[in-house]
Amino acid sequence: MIACDFDLNITYISCGWEGSATDARVLRSAKATGFTVPAGKFYLVDGGYANTESFLAPYRGVRYHLKEFGHGRHRPQNYQELFNHRHALMRNHVERVLGILKKRFPILHVATFHQMSNQVKIPAATAILHNIIRMQHGDEEWLDHQDEDLIPPANYVDLPNGDDNHQGQNHAGNVLRDQIAMQMWNDFPHD
């Protein structure tokens, strides 16, 4: 589990979980070890998490991915599609951070021969280094000019998603999401 702000700084990372661990289990552990949501705030999460007042998930079964709203496709047709579109735009920051980490630190792509107790520390170390580079106003454009074959693809490790099987919903989260989505829809210029 990873959280970031809109400036692409990593604000939280939980390491050491197997890919088969459910999002709910990882989140429960994170909350038990000090991860909190500031009062009156919420995190945008993917569909693998329960929708609550603190963790807003997209509407299920409604267009979500940015490519579904791309060129030549329809604008949002209702408040749920509009919410999902804006949710995807905002949540894209965490996907961007993950892409930057994987590109900047190729060790995240390969199996290592380190002891497991050390392997679980590698993602946290890369997150810390990433934030230091960001604080020092590090130039990220060099990432676009890296040789893609630094590590042979045969050495890559598949990272399971694990976000597809969660069915939990929370009434208060649904009400909050609906309120936000309806306000967005009311403010949205309709053609």
pLDDT per position as a tens digit, 4-32: 998 999 999 998 887 788 888 899 999 99
Please compute the mean of the pLDDT values over residues 63-83 and round it to a whole number: 77
Compare 10 and 149 and report the one with higher pLDDT.
10
Q: Is the pLDDT of residue 76 over 90?
A: no
Report DSSP state, residue 51.
B
- Phi, psi torsion values for 115, nearest 5 degrees: -65, 150
- pLDDT band of residue 47 (cuts 50, 70, 90) is confident
Q: Is the pLDDT of residue 53 over 50?
A: yes
Compare 148 and 76 and report the one with higher pLDDT.
76
Report the alpha-carbon distance of residue 10 to residue 35 in Å, rounded.
Answer: 13
Compare 189 and 112 and report the one with higher pLDDT.
189
Residue 51 forms beta bridges with which residues? 169
Give residues with Cβ within 8 angstroms of 24, minimum separation 6.
Answer: 49, 50, 166, 168
Q: What is the CA radius of gyration of the chain?
A: 18
Contact 20, 160 (CB under 8 A): yes
Return the structure tokens found at 73: 């496709």
